Amino acid sequence: MSSFVSVANENGVAVVTINNPPVNALSFHVRKPLYEALAVLRDDPAAKAIVIACAGRTFVAGADITEFGKPVEQPELRAIIALLETIAKPTIAAIHGTALGGGLELALGCHFRVADRGAKLGLPEVTLGLLPGGGGTVRLPRLVGAVKALGMIVSGAPISAGEAKATGLVDETFDGDLLANAVRFADEMADRGGPFVPVGDRNERLAETDLAAFDAQAVDLARKTRGLEAPLACAKAVRNAIALPFDEALAAERQLFAKLVSGDQSRAQRHLFFAEREAAKVPGKDLQKRRIERVGIIGAGTMGGGIAMAFANGGFPVTLLETGEEALQRGLAMIEKNYAVSVSRGSLTEEAKQQRLGLFKGSTDYADLADCDLIIEAVFEDMAVKKEVFGRLDAIAKPGAILASNTSYLDVDAIAASTSRPQDVLGMHFFSPANVMKLLEIVRAEKTAPDALATVTDLARRIGKVAVVVGVCHGFVGNRMLSARGAENEALLLEGATPAQVDKAFTDFGWPMGPFQMGDLAGLDIGWRNRKARGQTAVIADTLCEEGRFGQKTGRGWYRYESGSREPLADPEVEALIRAKAAERGIEARAIGTEEIIERTLYPLVNEGAKILEEGVAARASDIDVVWANGYGFPVGKGGPMFWAGLEGAGRIIERLEYWHQRTGRAIFEPAPVLRRFAETGRWESARG
């Protein structure tokens, strides 16, 4: 017996309990006693059946991810499952919480799976750049069919216990005391008698596979992987399960797993897994949190509406405030329309829609915000307007209410100073659409109280957001780095690149789209208005806007679009405009390669990240990676800009930055001291660590 695995006998049924908090990962110190316990029970006449269950909040959540990349200690998970499959008496996995990855694979090694009705089951390895390496790709298709298994393994998304029952993954679901029900189930199976067939020997469902449907789905998927190796390897492994004998398919799965686990993409995705959890560790996280029951939102425009939906989706009643009845009704109608779209797509029931709409209260009177525990301002991006709003909030908000701004760029210290309670003020920078995008930058102002910060970080998780705490500066982490990434865009065009060429360099890198496609999608008029407000100009983009080329919404921008299509088509008019602007400046076109595009866009991105660390605007390099992977589409297989800098080689980045700095004199290319130290030590430092 060990403290991680215990065995009890319940009227002849052996109950093996894994207890490895917090999520019962299959660490070596679990695998070893688990193997030993099963080996004894296999031949123990006093046990007529074996139930594997877990203590704590969940069934096994997978292999221990911290062990990847280290030498494997025996027994491996596969050996435990192989042992399970030699047991003649019935074996039953009793699943509560989540059975994920190696956890579900362990359960697939059992003859039967019973689950709490609230449980979830899945193989999320693909999200870590892996495939299930404990036989999941070979056994799951034998229970649920190859097409369903492919979908689950490639998406990584877990399914509910109800769906698992319907597809044949679990044999029974229960409400109430799962363990008592599992023991009763085991007892019945033992009485019914064998032979009990291991999942690996069940071939009926595989034999029914519609190969054409399977291959069509696999091809469809290959088109969407954007350079990620794991989804393709997953599809290959499931195909092997259909085409090869069990043992060969299992061996092939292992080889594919070994290749992925030692590769950069999986390292990058594992880095992001831990980075997201690390980001939640903010100073004061253990302090008593403030109670947040009702949320107020000021401004029912693009962002206010989305933020309000994010909270209603999390079950919070929301008061939405606008300047007038018409704007309010417009905002509420947009929310209703968005929910109606979800209903028509089948992702929300009509009942849930009504229940969520019931959480909204519209108002044009600030007094109605007096009962809110958190109030988020999402009005125009104008300091004078924001200050006026916060001044009014100060007069009516209850003591201790947290007052937040959704500003994209503005100084949160200045906003806080317009109240008599700067300790309660912070930034909550959501991303558009706010009900969908997972990233939330929480801006800690100079006087923000630690318990206010901890409360909002905690709350973010409750509404499904990935939160990163950042400091005050123009554009915070994300938008500030975005400016650095885009600073050379027009220069590249003037010197000879085309928008399509730059965008292709980005999509080849793994971004979902390039900066010019992105501009056309978001609307070029937004940046134009911002530039005008700040007295700035952009040689080409300003002219495009003056010609009414705002992007997709006007059918023309950096590209042209056929009516009803979102496909960007190169536009000779734009190319002529670029050449004309270059000629005015005496710039001759030259060939610009992909490498140069990367050096002049992504190296400044990394460099700006280093400056952000230097200033302490971000506490950790991994926080910056979380921002970029969750808010800006940085390819997850490269782990975010700061992780990628290590892959790319800091020495090379510095050398090329110096070259471009000398050539252009632009500050974005001047290597930050923190980047130089990273090149020497391999560690990122932050002024706020």
Using only C-alpha atoms, the chain has a radius of gyration, in whole angstroms, of 28
Which residues, numbered 365-424, are part of the site for ligand NAI (CB under 6 A)?
A: 378-381, 385, 389, 406-408
7: three-class secondary structure by DSSP? strand
Query: b/e map of 207-235 (b: 16 or more CB within 10 Å)?
Result: eebeeeebeebbeebeeebbebbbbbbbb
User: What distance in Å separates the CA atoms of residue 127 and residue 129, rounded to the nearest whole number?
Assistant: 5
> Is 495 a known active-site residue?
no
Q: Where does this chain touch ligand NAI (CB under 6 A) — which range of 56-64, 211-219, 321-329, 345-353?
A: 321-329
Of 129, 134, 557, 646, which one interacts with ligand 3HC (CB under 6 A)?
134
Please state the closest distance from residue 516 (CB atom) to ligand NAI, in A: 18
User: What distance in Å separates the CA atoms of residue 45 and residue 258, rounded to the nearest whole number?
Assistant: 38
Confirm or reject binding of residue 255 to ligand 3HC (CB under 6 A). Answer: no
Cβ-contact 185, 50 below 8 angstroms? no
680-685: long-range pairs with CB below 8 Å, 24+ = 682/646, 684/610, 684/613, 684/620, 684/621, 684/642, 685/613
The one catalytic residue in 76, 105, 596, 608 is: 105
Confirm or reject binding of residue 243 to ligand NAI (CB under 6 A). Answer: no
Confirm or reject binding of residue 262 to ligand 3HC (CB under 6 A). Answer: no
Residue among 244 and 327 whose Cβ is closer to ligand NAI = 327
Cβ-contact 24, 18 below 8 angstroms? yes
What mask, x for binding ligand 3HC by CB under 6 A, covers residues 269 to 308? -----x--x-------------------------------
Instruction: Choose the contact partner of 668 out of ligand NAI, ligand 3HC, none; CB within 5 to 8 A by kind.
Output: none
Of 75, 109, 124, 641, which one interacts with ligand 3HC (CB under 6 A)?
124
Which residues, numbered 617-676, are part of the site for ligand 3HC (CB under 6 A)?
A: none
Cβ-contact 268, 233 below 8 angstroms? no
Confirm or reject binding of residue 110 to ligand NAI (CB under 6 A). Answer: no
Which residues, numbered 8-27, are part of the site for ligand 3HC (CB under 6 A)?
A: 22-23, 25
Confirm or reject binding of residue 304 to ligand NAI (CB under 6 A). Answer: yes
Confirm or reject binding of residue 75 to ligand 3HC (CB under 6 A). Answer: no
Residue among 81 and 320 whose Cβ is closer to ligand NAI = 320
91: three-class secondary structure by DSSP? strand
Residue among 65 and 505 whose Cβ is closer to ligand 3HC = 65
DSSP per-residue letters across 280-337: T--TTTTSPPPP---EEEE--SHHHHHHHHHHHHTT--EEEE-SSHHHHHHHHHHHHH
Consecutive H or E run containing 179: helix 178-192
Query: b/e map of 510-547 (b: 16 or more CB within 10 Å)?
Result: bbeebbbbbbbebbbbebbeeeeeeeeebbbbbebbee
> Is 567 a known active-site residue?
no
Confirm or reject binding of residue 101 to ligand 3HC (CB under 6 A). Answer: yes
Instruction: Choose the contact partner of 554 out of ligand 3HC, ligand NAI, none; CB within 5 to 8 A by kind.
Output: none
The one catalytic residue in 76, 85, 125, 377 is: 125
Confirm or reject binding of residue 564 to ligand 3HC (CB under 6 A). Answer: no
User: What distance in Å separates the CA atoms of residue 538 and residue 522, rounded to the nearest whole number?
Assistant: 17
- Interface residues with ligand 3HC (CB under 6 A) are 22-23, 25, 58, 61-66, 77, 98, 100-102, 105, 124-125, 128, 130, 132-134, 136, 274, 277
The catalytic residues are 105, 125
- Interface residues with ligand NAI (CB under 6 A) are 298-304, 321-323, 327, 378-381, 385, 389, 406-408, 430-432
